[in-house]
Chain A
Amino acid sequence: MYVMPILTPRDEAAVRKEFERIAGPVKLVVFSQELMAPELCQQNEQLVREVAELSDQITVEVLNLAIDRERAETYGVDQVPALVVEGSRDWGIRFYGIPLGYEFSNLIDSIIVASTGEPTLSEDTLASLRALASDVDIKVFSTPT
């Protein structure tokens, strides 16, 4: 069966250009659970695989939220579809839902910063974040358009 690609050739060319900045291996860990959200999980997996095709530094691992419970707990993932963007280690970058539209550029940027480990933030911000004494959970609600 032929599945229509999500990314257009133009998208792919733009992403490849961005991915020239990838500085090391990145692992995209996908959590699916077909029983919960079959179409969303399938589309999410497809998108992640299409993105991973655009750089030989990116690998994909697909896990099942119901089966791979320990991994889900370690990552703090309790929804599907979910995506963890890991670099040399788990930085704490998560996506719930299919990162398309506006979130797509966010995903591409996340992959790059996960690979470099070098956030583009001011010295003041970096110093304040280094001094944090407790955990911070940031939820960003977004939509594709």
Chain B
Amino acid sequence: MRLAQHMSVASDRVRSTVIEATEFPELSRAYQVMGVPKVVINDRVQFEGALPEHEFLGAVLQAVETI
């Protein structure tokens, strides 16, 4: 999942945290992690598995869309 970190470098707006799920069971439970990798963006958009770059970007843009 290198995309998240590269996006962090690309924009001051983006922070990325890789979380080792088994070492953080409470966080994993809170975010209902059933399979990995699981990506959660702004606690609003989430998906499981690796996505190609344009789809990952789509998820990021969806997460910042104003309601």
CB pair A136–B60 under 8 Å, yes or no, is yes
CB pair B10–A97 under 8 Å, yes or no, is no
B residues 27-67 in Cβ contact with A at 8 Å: 27-28, 31, 33, 36-43, 53-54, 57, 60-61, 63-64
Given that A93-B16, A95-B17, A122-B53 are contacting pairs, would A139 and B40 also be in contact in the complex, using a CB cutoff of 8 Å? yes
Chain A: residues with Cβ within 8 Å of the partner, total of: 47
CB pair A106–B15 under 8 Å, yes or no, is no
CB pair A141–B37 under 8 Å, yes or no, is yes
Q: How large is the interface on B (under 10, 10 to 19, 20 to 34, 35 or more residues)?
A: 35 or more
CB pair A109–B5 under 8 Å, yes or no, is yes
Contact with B along A107-130 (1 / 0, CB 8 A): 001100110011111101110111
Cβ of A134 within 8 Å of any chain B Cβ, yes or no, is: yes
Q: 16 additional contacts, CB 8 Å, given A79-B27, A109-B5?
A: A97-B19, A99-B18, A106-B18, A114-B9, A119-B10, A121-B3, A130-B10, A135-B42, A136-B15, A136-B41, A138-B15, A138-B39, A138-B60, A139-B31, A139-B39, A139-B40
Footprint of B on A, CB under 8 Å? Answer: 37, 40, 76, 79, 81, 85, 87, 91-99, 103, 106, 109-110, 113-114, 117-122, 124-126, 128-130, 132-144
